[in-house]
Structure 1
Amino acid sequence: MAPSIDLNCDMGESYGAWHMGNDEAVLQYVTSANIACGFHGGDPGTMRKTVAAALAQGVALGAHPSLPDLSGFGRRVMQISPAEAYDMVVYQVGALAGVAASQGARLHHVKAHGALYNMAVKDTPLAQAICRAVRDVDASLVLYGLAGSELVRAAQELGMPVASEVFADRTYQDDGSLSPRNRPGAMIEDLETAVAQVVRMASEGKVRSVNGKEVPVQADTLCIHGDQPNALVFANGIRAALEKAGIAVRAMPGGPVA
């Protein structure tokens, strides 16, 4: 069977008068949308419009819950308990599920955002709380988590549908974690470099760390950050490169797809 991969993008992150991303253009190239639920970005109107735009393109709908940190865009670490994480995720996933239902649709997946995602990569109780919250809202939802992380392990232990996620625009550490954004070289801004990394992850299941180590990765779904200035260029170029390499681009099976 030919290899395949899902292309997901974080979007719907505009808030009030603050505009973020080029969502409608990027939606032409991705297969899954991770839609902000109001805690790090997004608002009720933006959620409604983003769901409608994704449905129009046949893109799978996903909730993108975050820590409650609008001014920090959800990227600042907060000390929260597993119970608090559970409540935050239930609240946000439920909100977007309601927006989707108002348009005759259902959610397909959930992917935590920013610091919440990165904290849960290595924090087992936090990862378990996030996964339980997703399962308790809708057991058919696919949990998107960093390949090799505690999020993926927690979802597997609960018997949930799960997708191991890799990144086009981030470099990797020797343990398979992402390089922290505050370190030099954490972000990949060159399209050719990103394409080479993506095609290798999808076809060979490997990525080279910043120290030159070959790290095994499971590449079920690939993230393109919608808030990056070159998101449209990356989405277009990466999809074209994957298809040229014979790698099918399609949404993950498991939950409802628009």
Structure 2
Amino acid sequence: MIDALKNIIETEQKTGKPFWQIVQEDSCTENAVDPEESFEAMRATLKAMTDSVADYDAGRTSASGLVGGEGAKIEKRRKAGKLICGDLMGRVMEIALKVGESNACMRRIVAAPTAGSCGVVPAVLIAVAEQAGFTEDDLVKALYVAGGIGGVIGERAFLAGAAGGCQAEIGAASAMAAGALTSLYGGDAAAIANAAALALKGLLGLSCDPVAGLVEVPCVKRNALGAVNAVISADMTLAGVKSQIPPDEVIDAMRTIGKNMDPDIKETGIGGLAGTETGKAISQKIKL
């Protein structure tokens, strides 16, 4: 398992192989599969992501009643041309919410890297592909990039809210999406890592404070935040904006912050938003 983004950068510089291929080869070695089999398995992952968007039903609500229909509201406003942020960002928000809602409604999603952050990567890749015309193979390669970034974060820090707060879930997903998007637009390994660093930096310290202990509030809406943050981070990188802190050190900082977090804001449903008067009232009502 690759445990540092700088290793991928150095390998690319030495071999000329792109980020996605370096990750693929490492995965093939670890899982004892050939490149073609690996690529088709990743293609299946992409299909599951696109299916999770197509399967969205605005009429569904979660068992708690807290989640349902949010993505459709953004879609309606986007199609009416009323979104302040424009069509692309609107589509990114829309997909992120739809997939996050689908998870809360017990529909099939791809944990990328977790169920709670499942909307970020598909929102960015699918929305941009629709506008820019990237091929399915392009998106499969981008998913390798996303997976490689997530793998490094998992090795150096954590990916679970219970371990490191929501910075480890939405933060990691945003970093993965930012790097994947940068790769689609021709960014090299250094640029990909830089975009991931910018995205993760923006979400450092984010608590995991689910109301009533459910992966619904504020989790679903944070998917939209993470997705938009990823697009911004990729654009900054492609424009030449550099992270002053090296990517691996940003991940290490996330690990330290997560370890220092109070347990009440690490997926316990006790502190943060879950600990507000309204949060407690919702929890009590659902339990009844």
- TM-score band (shorter)? under 0.3
Higher normalized helix content (fraction of residues):
2
Asked which structure has the greater CA Rg, the reply is 2
* Greater relative contact order structure (CA < 8 Å, 6+ sep): 1
TM-score with structure 2 setting the length: 0.26
